[in-house]
A and B are shown apart, each in its own frame.
Chain A
Amino acid sequence: GQQLNQSPQSMFIQEGEDVSMNCTSSSIFNTWLWYKQDPGEGPVLLIALYKAGELTSNGRLTAQFGITRKDSFLNISASIPSDVGIYFCAGHNAGNNRKLIWGLGTSLAVNP
């Protein structure tokens, strides 16, 4: 099925560094969602975006809904060991389908 292009696929960083990841699509979306998944656990919703250009923060996390509506970005500032996990983006356009379209995830490792 259709999937988003999420990059990078994996990241290995030092504690305290900032992290940036993004998702791009060939389709326009009305909703972007960012999730984090710990090993063996269910994904946890981090940030939801509903408007082009919207910039939303959740603690050290900041996500943006791209102006073109075809991309979204997630930044993590001052990373800590508990940021380790897989980050997924998901997008939705009610006009095209009834399903969330998911990225394949960015795996983040943090070296203490």
Chain B
Amino acid sequence: DSGVTQTPKHLITATGQRVTLRCSPRSGDLSVYWYQQSLDQGLQFLIHYYNGEERAKGNILERFSAQQFPDLHSELNLSSLELGDSALYFCASSKGVSGGHEQYFGPGTRLTVT
């Protein structure tokens, strides 16, 4: 158990809908990262927050947005969903602000768009 929690575990929704994925980092970690992993693909970095502020952006679509709250939990919002958005979405956390620190991953949310 990495100490990173993600909810929900599974999510099934229809095209055009909007969903919110939630992540709680490990105790003491200030950085939260979001990744997307499509079937049999590698990890695609989406976005990094540190202590409530955006630090780095990756290949995140304009239909996607994220935020980190004062209690350090984070939410990833996915809107106008398309079939191609079906994937595993992982949250990771680390202590420091640098993206190079050891990142600990949550169990993921499996999103299925029908």
B32 to chain A, nearest CB (A): 14
Known interface pairs A40-B110, A42-B2, A42-B105; A100-B42 also in contact (CB < 8 Å): no
A40 touches B98 (CB 8 A): no
Chain B interface main SS type: loop
- Contact residues in A for B104 (Cβ distance below 8 Å): 45
Q: In the complex, which of the residues B2, B42, B101, B108 has the most CB atoms of chain A within 10 Å of its own CB atom?
A: B42
Provide the residues of chain A in CB contact with B102, threshold 8 Å: 33, 45, 48
Pairwise interchain contact A100-B2, C-beta atoms closer than 8 A: no
Q: Which residues does A use to contact B, with CB under 8 Å?
A: 1, 3, 30-31, 33, 35, 40-45, 48, 88, 92-94, 97-100, 102-105
- What 1/0 mask marks residues of chain B from 68 to 103 whose CB sits below 8 Å from any chain A CB? 000000000000000000001010100000111111
B107 in contact (CB, < 8 A): yes
Number of residues on chain B facing chain A (CB within 8 A): 27
Query: Given A92-B100, A99-B56, A102-B45, list of 18 further CB < 8 A pairs?
Result: A1-B44, A1-B45, A1-B58, A41-B107, A42-B4, A43-B90, A44-B105, A45-B102, A45-B103, A88-B42, A93-B100, A94-B98, A98-B48, A98-B98, A98-B99, A99-B45, A99-B48, A104-B42
Residue contact B106 to A43, C-beta cutoff 8 Å: no
Residue from A42, A44, A93, A100 in contact with B45 in the complex, judged by beta carbons closer than 8 Å: A100
Cβ contacts under 8 Å, A42 to chain B: 2, 4, 90, 92, 105-108
Q: Which A residue sits closest to B100, measured CB to CB?
A: A92
Q: B14 contacts which chain A residues (CB < 8 A)? A: none
B11 within 8 A of A: no
